[in-house]
């Protein structure tokens, strides 16, 4: 049996009055006015249409149908007496002559109201995601995701990139997060890994002679959730270019992304090429973060020399950082509440004072500032009605970065919100001291080319320079304070690769063992290549204005990486375990 609807529920207009139509959709609501009058709201993917039952028989037919049942209605279109200008179909209504139930909802009570599902508890929304997605607001985010994906695909294809899919079952490799492992039935005791990214495969495509590659790549990482990060899996616009340098990658991204953001985003303005480039060290010193929001005009200033000897005990622990906010008129209660929220986010204490209309320090630590006011004002460029937020000690820079973001977004006049402001963070450190190991480790991507190539690595091996001073030809793309992507010019030379790994105590044999395909492929003549992979989920989150990335994913996991709708992860049978040569270890409680 087929239901050939003549129109969708978002299609009919006043010009259709008098037509006989057939609509199909979900019965969103029925409002019975009398025994012979009822108003029905029918909803499908495209919109809603009002139907009016005007006979006792038809009213009773609708009263017998539970909400959210799928139905078909056949009837005549007419002009509405009471029009609804907020609805595209608000000038018409359908007088049904026949109604048929296509799929009955067998529950009188729903887990939540469909059009208010976003107000429901998140666990309920995820458990009944198929109902949540019926909400037009939720559905529209997924439609936006599809539109953005299509636009990106078209743009990349127009620029000569080939869409090539890479394997999902691959080998485990150290890429910064935990792998999802898949037992290999035909290889007892061995495991596949789901790719954290197509990193090695796309580099191998470059060595294979493909010039420009991209894909909407699924990536799998066993890591904790955040507002801008979904646990388990995510998607990215993965791309790589042969015979390319950093500027080549930048040119493509600066050409592809702004039109998409301007067309599909909340804001019609997006940064034009070239995007601002900020060295990593400068970003940290100026904004207190490597993900600056350039819509905010506040910056971090160093006040160590000026305030470390003012007599305020916390400032004896250096450094001391300051954020100056001009034209400030907020009350003390607002200040206390805002700085308390900064402390929660940053883990560091924030201090303050402000200058009154006469330029005198008041509030907070004003009594420590007053004796050296001229010195402080000159150093920080202060003027009347300025507010100064301060941080000190080991976490001073992080706290200052949170102050910039929080104060910039909440104090009027310091954030040009309605735009997409892109920037590149460049010159990342190649190495860092690991927090857990206390030893030298790769800072980000071990496959990045060190700035200076083999020569700088040799100098580090000879002790002529500190490895921590080596930068990498690596870059991050940031938009409105959100990191959209990391990318790099790749290390395509086996000799340079080995020398880079030797600094972190891994020799040539280790490199061959961990990255056999890539190492061997590079030995057959690899082209210089570079790439990047902007996160699709994060892009759509920015475009839609959502604060949680789960709002733009069709079937997201919860914060604990569980799919409560499908019941994953779940247990499997003993037979399945035996086939995979796996025994499940019991914990101390025997469970």
Instruction: Please state, in angstroms and rounded to a whole number, the distance separating the CA atoms of residues 528 and 493.
Output: 9
Q: Which residues pair with 51 in a beta bridge?
A: 40, 94
Domain boundary among 77, 103, 129: 103
Q: Is residue 288 part of a domain?
A: no
Per-residue pLDDT tens for 500-529? 999 999 999 999 988 899 999 999 999 999
Q: Give SS3 for 460.
A: helix
Res 586: pLDDT: 76
| pLDDT, tens digit (0-9, with 9 covering 90-100), for 374-426 | 999 999 999 999 999 999 999 999 999 999 999 999 999 999 999 999 999 99
Question: ∠ CA 472-475-481 to the nearest 5 degrees?
Answer: 140
Q: Are residues 430 and 455 in the same domain?
A: yes
The mean pLDDT value of the chain amounts to 94
Assess whether 525 and 543 both reside in one domain.
no
Domains: count for the chain: 4
- Cα 570 to Cα 567: distance, rounded to the nearest angstrom: 6
Q: Does 33 map to a domain?
A: yes
Is 388 part of a structural domain of the chain? yes
Q: Which two tokens stand for residue 289?
A: 């973060």
**In a shared domain, residues 560 and 520:** no
The answer to whether residues 392 and 468 belong to one domain is no
Whether residue 210 lies inside any domain: the answer is: yes
* Strand, coil or helix: 95: strand
Within this chain, do residues 542 and 476 fall inside the same structural domain, yes or no?
no
Does position 589 have pLDDT exceeding 70, yes or no? Answer: no
> Is 125 part of any domain?
no
Residue 119 placed within a domain: no
Give the CATH number, domain containing residue 371: 3.30.1360.30
Whether the pLDDT of residue 175 is over 70: the answer is: no
Q: Are residues 339 and 398 in the same domain?
A: yes
Does 243 lie in the same domain as 336?
A: no
Residues 227 and 242 grouped into a single domain? yes
Q: Are residues 252 and 149 in the same domain?
A: yes
| Residue 400 sits in the same domain as residue 309 | yes
- Dist. CA 123–CA 149, nearest whole Å: 28
Pair (398, 442) in one structural domain: no
129: nearest Cα among 553, 561, 565, 549: 565
Q: Write down which residue in 79, 103, 127 finishes a domain.
A: 103
Element (H, E) at 111: none
In this predicted structure, the answer to whether residue 447 has a pLDDT above a threshold of 90 is: no
Domain with 378, as residue range(s), is 296-410
- Report yes or no on whether pTM surpasses 0.85: yes
Calpha distance 540→86 (Å, rounded): 26
Q: Establish if 94 belongs to a structural domain.
A: yes
Nearest to 403 by CA among 341, 450, 355, 463: 341
Does a structural domain hold residue 110? no
Of the residues 531, 552, 585, the one at which a domain ends: 531
Domain co-membership, 267 together with 391: no
The answer to whether the CB of 290 falls within 8 A of the CB of 283 is yes
The mean pLDDT value for 51-75 works out to: 97
What is the per-residue pLDDT across 485-494, written as a single tens digit (0 to 9) for each? 999 999 999 9
So what's the pLDDT on residue 1? 41
């Amino acid at each position: 049996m087929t239901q050939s609807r003549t129109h969708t529920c978002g299609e009919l207009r006043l010009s259709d009055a008098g037509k006989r139509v057939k609509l199909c959709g979900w019965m969103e609501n029925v409002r019975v006015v009398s025994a012979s009058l009822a108003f029905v709201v029918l909803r499908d993917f495209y919109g809603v249409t009002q139907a009016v039952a005007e006979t006792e028989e038809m009213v009773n037919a609708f009263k017998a149908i539970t909400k959210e049942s799928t139905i078909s209605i056949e009837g005549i279109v007419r002009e509405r007496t009471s029009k609804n200008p907020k609805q595209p179909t608000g000038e018409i209504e359908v007088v049904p002559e026949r109604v048929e139930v296509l799929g009955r909802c067998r529950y009188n009570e729903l887990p939540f109201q469909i059009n208010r599902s976003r107000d429901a508890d998140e666990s309920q929304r995820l458990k009944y995601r198929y109902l949540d997605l019926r909400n037009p607001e939720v559905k529209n985010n997924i439609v936006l995701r599809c539109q953005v994906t299509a636009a990106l695909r078209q743009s990349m294809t127009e620029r000569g990139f080939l869409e090539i899919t890479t394997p999902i079952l691959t080998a485990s490799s150290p890429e910064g997060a935990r792998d999802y492992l898949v037992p290999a039935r035909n290889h007892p005791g061995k495991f596949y890994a789901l790719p954290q990214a197509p990193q090695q495969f796309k580099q191998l495509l470059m060595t294979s002679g493909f010039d420009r590659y991209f894909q909407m790549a699924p990536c799998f990482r066993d890591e904790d959730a955040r507002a801008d990060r979904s646990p388990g899996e995510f998607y990215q616009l993965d791309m790589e270019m042969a015979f390319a340098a950093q500027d080549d990658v930048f040119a493509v991204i600066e050409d592809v992304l702004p039109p998409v953001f301007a067309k599909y985003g909340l804001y019609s303005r997006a940064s034009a090429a070239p995007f601002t480039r900020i060295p990593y060290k400068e970003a940290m010193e100026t904004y207190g973060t490597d993900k600056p929001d350039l819509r905010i005009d506040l910056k971090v200033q160093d006040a160590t020399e000026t305030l470390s000897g003012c007599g305020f005990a916390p400032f004896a622990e250096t450094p001391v950082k300051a954020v100056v906010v001009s034209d400030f008129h907020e009350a003390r209660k607002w200040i206390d509440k805002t700085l308390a929220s900064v402390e929660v986010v940053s883990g560091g204490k924030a201090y303050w004072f402000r200058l009154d209309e006469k330029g005198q320090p008041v509030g907070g630590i004003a009594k420590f500032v007053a004796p050296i006011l001229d010195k402080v004002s000159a150093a920080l460029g202060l003027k009347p009605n300025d507010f100064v937020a301060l941080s000190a000690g080991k976490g001073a820079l992080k706290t200052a970065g949170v102050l910039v973001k929080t104060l910039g977004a909440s104090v009027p006049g310091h954030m040009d919100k309605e735009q997409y402001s892109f920037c590149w963070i460049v010159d990342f450190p190649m190495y860092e001291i690991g927090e857990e190991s206390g030893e030298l480790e790769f800072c980000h991507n071990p496959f990045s080319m060190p700035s200076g190539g083999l020569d700088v690595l040799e100098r580090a091996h000879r002790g002529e320079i500190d490895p921590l001073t080596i930068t990498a030809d690596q870059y991050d793309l940031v938009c409105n304070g959100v990191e959209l992507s990391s990318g790099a010019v790749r290390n395509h030379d086996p000799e340079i690769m080995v020398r880079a790994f030797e600094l972190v105590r891994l020799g040539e044999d280790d490199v061959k063992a961990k990255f056999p395909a890539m190492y061997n492929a590079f030995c057959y003549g690899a082209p210089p290549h570079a790439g990047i992979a902007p996160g699709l989920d994060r892009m759509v989150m920015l475009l839609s204005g959502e604060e949680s990335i789960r709002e733009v994913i069709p079937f997201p996991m919860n914060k604990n990486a569980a799919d409560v709708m499908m019941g994953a992860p779940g247990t499997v049978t003993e037979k399945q375990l035996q086939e995979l040569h796996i025994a499940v270890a019991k914990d101390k409680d025997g469970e």
